[in-house]
């Protein structure tokens, strides 16, 4: 079950994100979108939050089931414990979800299939029951770290051609907001951003400048970025 998809979003991959997110959250996952190039990453942990999660699930979204979606899932499987693909189901029953060969291929690969109706209802077409070999533990670790560092869930899964609100960008914006009132030292920003010193020194976005030894101020581009992201 899920919320009915808005008419103006039915043909956007991001419209699938919230129904699929709700479906996986009901199964006990903590879900966030656009993590490490994956449309959706869900963590299910046992015990302390900073321990290795019991299950990492990745789901890729497309408007229709196609070969590219399966290829994406195969790539993501190296960094996850479960991998799913989700797409809109055809109202006329003529989509790939009705093709036995497509479903059988997903079963053989251990890829789960989720169908999303225009009403936002999510159904399991193929279960992800076969454990996929975890061949890229470093990538899995990067996904988990970004998932846990990111405050809230600021990015809709399936977004394309738009900047992603990563944990690093969130921290840089928090620093920019603090510097908007005047120059500060990294130690003044510890509560705002634990890694403020490194972020200010690296200055990846060009938002900060050193005005004297150990003191940083916000640049013009930093002010512009702050206004832009406040409006998002």
User: In this structure, is residue 157 part of a structural domain?
Assistant: no
Q: Are 29 and 20 in contact (CB under 8 A)?
A: no
User: In this structure, is residue 222 part of a structural domain?
Assistant: yes
User: What pLDDT is stored for residue 162 in this prediction?
Assistant: 80
Place of tokens 């699930």: 57
- Do residues 208 and 125 share a domain? no
- Do residues 77 and 116 share a domain? yes
- Do residues 141 and 192 share a domain? no
Q: What is the pTM of this model?
A: 0.78
User: In this structure, is residue 39 part of a structural domain?
Assistant: yes
215 token code pair:
């003191």
User: What pLDDT is stored for residue 48 in this prediction?
Assistant: 47
- Do residues 117 and 41 share a domain? yes
User: In this structure, is residue 2 part of a structural domain?
Assistant: no
CATH number, domain containing residue 219: 1.10.10.10
- Do residues 139 and 59 share a domain? yes
**Residue 26: how many other CB atoms lie within 10 Å:** 11
The backbone torsions φ and ψ at residue 17, rounded to the nearest 5 degrees and listed phi first, read -60, -50
- For the chain, what is the domain count? 2
- Do residues 18 and 108 share a domain? yes
User: In this structure, is residue 60 part of a structural domain?
Assistant: yes
Q: Residue 19 belongs to what H/E stretch?
A: helix 14-26
Q: What is the DSSP-derived secondary structure letter of residue 113?
A: E
37-71 b/e (C-beta count within 10 Å ≥ 16 → b) = ebbbbbbbbeeeeeeebeebbbbbbbbebeeebbe
- Do residues 144 and 177 share a domain? no
Q: Where in the sequence is the domain holding 210, given as residue range(s)?
A: 167-230
26 token code pair:
């009901």
Residue where one domain finishes, among candidates 149, 175, 199: 149
- Do residues 88 and 201 share a domain? no
| All residues at 6 or more sequence positions from 38 whose CB lies less than 8 Å from its CB, including other chains | 58, 59, 60, 76, 143, 157
- Do residues 99 and 23 share a domain? yes
Residue where one domain finishes, among candidates 149, 181, 196: 149
User: In this structure, is residue 1 part of a structural domain?
Assistant: no
Q: What are the mean pLDDT values of the chain's consecutive 10-residue runs (232 residues total)?
A: 49 86 94 94 72 84 94 91 92 83 93 93 86 74 91 86 88 94 92 90 94 93 89 61
Give the residues across from 87 on adjacent strands. Answer: 62, 115
- Do residues 210 and 121 share a domain? no
- Do residues 120 and 192 share a domain? no
User: What pLDDT is stored for residue 161 in this prediction?
Assistant: 76
- Do residues 77 and 179 share a domain? no
User: What pLDDT is stored for residue 172 in this prediction?
Assistant: 93
| All residues at 6 or more sequence positions from 69 whose CB lies less than 8 Å from its CB, including other chains | 60, 62, 85, 87
Residue where one domain finishes, among candidates 82, 115, 149: 149
User: In this structure, is residue 86 part of a structural domain?
Assistant: yes
User: In this structure, is residue 158 part of a structural domain?
Assistant: no
User: What pLDDT is stored for residue 177 in this prediction?
Assistant: 94
188 token code pair:
């003044």
């Amino acid at each position: 079950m899920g919320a009915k998809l808005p008419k103006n979003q039915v043909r956007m991959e991001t419209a699938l994100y919230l129904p699929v997110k709700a479906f996986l959250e009901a199964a006990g996952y903590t879900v966030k979108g656009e993590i490490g190039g994956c449309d959706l990453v869900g963590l299910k942990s046992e015990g302390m939050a900073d321990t290795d999660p019991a299950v990492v699930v990745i789901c890729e979204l497309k408007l229709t089931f196609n070969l590219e979606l399966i290829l994406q899932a195969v790539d993501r499987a190296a960094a996850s414990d479960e991998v799913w693909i989700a797409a809109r189901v055809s109202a006329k029953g003529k989509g790939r979800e009705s093709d036995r060969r497509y479903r059988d291929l997903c079963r053989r690969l251990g890829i789960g299939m989720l169908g999303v109706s225009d009403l936002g209802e999510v159904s399991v077409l193929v279960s992800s029951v076969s454990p996929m070999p975890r061949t890229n533990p470093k990538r899995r670790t990067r996904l988990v770290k970004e998932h846990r560092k990111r405050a809230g869930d600021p990015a809709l899964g399936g977004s394309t051609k738009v900047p992603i609100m990563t944990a690093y960008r969130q921290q840089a914006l928090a620093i920019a907001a603090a510097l908007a009132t005047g120059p500060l030292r990294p130690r003044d920003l510890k509560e705002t951003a634990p890694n403020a010193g490194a972020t200010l020194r690296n200055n990846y976005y060009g938002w900060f400048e050193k005005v004297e030894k150990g003191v940083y101020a916000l640049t013009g581009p930093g002010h512009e970025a702050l206004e832009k992201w406040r409006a998002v």
